[in-house]
Structure 1
């Protein structure tokens, strides 16, 4: 059976934590490049690197990356060296969620869903087949001047994290890259184990699918569930702060006197933002989301609130969220939470 899993984002332009920038600045300092030169043109102060709650946009990190590539242009395999420094602990709660996942396959699926908690610029799409697991690594939208560096960095970082999860070096079955074979190809082969091929149509690597089903050494169902909830909250907070997605979400949150009125349709939202519907869709797509995804976020939050704080029936909740049929709402709610609305209410509302 063939199964394809896409990332939860459509573009690398998402807000991210400061850890990746700090990692590259530290590496540069070890090789004689002061922080001031690494941060030039980024708008970042050196003190920000020590703030674990600091958040930067992707273009800020990109400015630091360009400084790194320029300052250390004479270092071969720079992307590989940097990529090897991304360990599970670099990713905070996102990393802990991966560590506690039941299997490597589950960790990969989770990571794709919450990819905007990573630092990647190259977007992976994975494909399971009967005899092979393939990760297609897309670099089409990555700026050309740092594209090869970021492919090397991101693929190496992905491999490093998977090896950390397994507790051993993970050999790849295949590794292929679009760029021509560099003089330091042996350094890349140290990561992949298998001899990589260059000048290929697409960037990809493959893994024996049997490895994906092996239990991870630190798997813990309770910790995984807790980390999953925290990652969801973190993503919501990050997305809520920025750009067109924040504007749309504000309009989708109801403002009626009872607090629960059906969210407006996309045409109404577009008019309120003085945009055409087509332009709004394009802006949301560029932001890595969609009206449907934002509507689902708002509907889920409202549904959970109504089910736990009001005596409304499931049918009434469905109507107030704009569903024509209760069955459609029940299906959507189970997709969001893994439970039916009735079961969700029973678990969270004490009997009186």
Structure 2
């Protein structure tokens, strides 16, 4: 069975590349090697995993690294969901299976799901005494909580907003937590938990959703394998958009926040490379649109929604500007 801890660390290294870090330095400081992660049979030690977390925070100068890393894995969350829903009838059943898989990546927390009359909650129960004194475990908790939200996005194929998010510990950068969690978290509470509307729990798994997930994962390749070499900022942003925009293009402000940059700094750095964010967003939308259209299975209204357009007519106009023809003609010409 694939070592999920090593897979997680490889994803962290790929995200480090997106953040313009040296993978070699991160590995050296953490006493791990790429060969060990890809081919080694021995599991990583707890210290190695903790050191990857700590050195990632240190090198990025990002106290919210776990939060931003979790935010960057939308398509990976979709991939996990794609496997789970094969044996699930409802969103609640799929989440229950997902929660049971948590020990494959960490023994520091277990996930407990509880229902009441109008809501359901995912509780992140610590399994290690004095865990709040470990910076690495605080980062792991942030990662797990964000990842659960993206798993729910993948099950429903829409962006879900929690009713409440609670942390037992205090946090700095509370506005950034609110942005990523999509609601204002409460800190210094009795438990770590995310609460959602119960209607999500009861929704059936649609076979059409599974088919769209399959197409997304096959046609829109995640960039998790890119751990070698250096990339320009525009390439890193384009890759991020393609890997994390299956429910609409991410805004310039969101990209800047995830990369731990101010919006003005992001704009300046892109200008130095002779491009602006809108150009990159348009290129990503165009590539996504073509992939969706080539699947041949989805109405223009759904494709428009997935690309973040409120009106189908707006998508048709934009696609014609890109290609000179309408989406319908493109599908006909390409036998979609």
TM-score between the two structures when normalised by the length of structure 2: 0.53
Residue number in structure 2 paired with 1:122: 109
SS in 2 for 1:80: helix
Aligned residues: 204
Residue number in structure 1 paired with 2:318: none
SS in 2 for 1:18: helix
SS in 1 for 2:188: coil
- Structure 2 contact 54–136 (Cα < 8 Å) conserved: yes
Indicate yes or no: 2:123 matched with 1:136.
yes
The offset of 1:17, in angstroms, is 4.3
Compare CA radii of gyration and give the structure with the larger one. 1
The superposition leaves residues 276-297 of structure 1 with CA deviations (integer Å, 9 ceiling, x where unpaired) of xxxxxxxxxxxxxxxxxxxxxx
Correspondence for 1:110 among 88, 91, 97: 97
Residue number in structure 2 paired with 1:47: 35
The offset of 1:149, in angstroms, is 1.7
Instruction: Indicate how the Cα distance of structure 1 residues 80 and 148 shifts in structure 2: closer, same or farther if over 3 A, else same.
Output: same
Residue number in structure 2 paired with 1:85: 72
Q: Distance in 2 between matches of 1:38 and 1:153?
A: 19
Indicate yes or no: 2:6 matched with 1:18.
yes
Residue number in structure 1 paired with 2:84: 98
Indicate yes or no: 2:66 matched with 1:66.
no
The superposition leaves residues 288-311 of structure 1 with CA deviations (integer Å, 9 ceiling, x where unpaired) of xxxxxxxxxxxxxxxxxxxxxxxx
Residue number in structure 1 paired with 2:178: 189
Note the residue ranges of structure 1 that are not aligned, 5 or more in a row: 1-14, 222-352
The offset of 1:121, in angstroms, is 4.2
Residue number in structure 2 paired with 1:330: none
Residue number in structure 2 paired with 1:145: 135
Q: Which moved more, 1:53-62 or 1:26-35?
A: 53-62
The offset of 1:30, in angstroms, is 2.9
- Structure 1 contact 172–193 (Cα < 8 Å) conserved: yes
Residue number in structure 2 paired with 1:31: 19
The superposition leaves residues 218-241 of structure 1 with CA deviations (integer Å, 9 ceiling, x where unpaired) of 4799xxxxxxxxxxxxxxxxxxxx
Q: Distance in 2 between matches of 1:112 and 1:171?
A: 19
Q: Distance in 2 between matches of 1:58 and 1:129?
A: 39
Residue number in structure 1 paired with 2:191: 202
Q: Distance in 2 between matches of 1:181 and 1:41?
A: 26
The offset of 1:55, in angstroms, is 6.9
Indicate yes or no: 2:144 matched with 1:158.
no
Note the residue ranges of structure 2 that are not aligned, 5 or more in a row: 211-336
Q: Distance in 1 between matches of 2:71 and 2:41?
A: 23
Q: Distance in 1 between matches of 2:124 and 2:65?
A: 19
Instruction: Indicate how the Cα distance of structure 1 residues 95 and 39 shifts in structure 2: closer, same or farther if over 3 A, else same.
Output: farther
- Structure 1 contact 167–217 (Cα < 8 Å) conserved: no
Instruction: Indicate how the Cα distance of structure 1 residues 212 and 155 shifts in structure 2: closer, same or farther if over 3 A, else same.
Output: same
The offset of 1:106, in angstroms, is 0.6
